[in-house]
Amino acid sequence: MGQPAVVRMVLDALTRTIDGSPAAPGTVQRQRGVVVNIAEYAVERKLLGRNPITVLAWKAPKTVKSVDKRAVVNPDQARALLAAVADQKPSGPSLVAYFRAMYYAARCGQVRQ
């Protein structure tokens, strides 16, 4: 595992989920931490001379997902949905602002992870 090409392959594999879609940045960082700890343990057991993960210059890719505006409800549908939420007692009125903010974010076109 000390070869840079192998280490990069391992780290690049962390950026994808099992189905091949991009993994969330927090997931990538958490999994990288696990791999770093495994390599540190291998150094401690004298299986590796140094930790190859921390020596390698590698940054996890940033992901920004665009929302398909065709998948977002139109303004008339949104008003009807928000009215239906407001009618739900006891928590409906307090959820309207939450769902309104979600709708606004979706209409803007980008959701950051």
pLDDT score, position 57: 86
Q: What is the pTM of this model?
A: 0.54
pLDDT digits 0-9 by tens, 26-60:
888 899 999 999 999 999 999 999 999 988 888 87
Task: Retrieve residue 69's tokens.
Answer: 């505006």
pLDDT score, position 39: 93
The one-character DSSP state at 71 is: G
pLDDT digits 0-9 by tens, 57-101:
888 777 666 666 677 788 888 899 999 999 988 888 889 999 988
Q: How far is the C-alpha of 64 from the C-alpha of 45, rounded, in Å?
A: 40
CA 75-76-77 angle, to 5 degrees, is 90
Q: How far is the C-alpha of 111 from the C-alpha of 47, rounded, in Å?
A: 43
Which carries the bigger pLDDT value, residue 14 or residue 107? 14
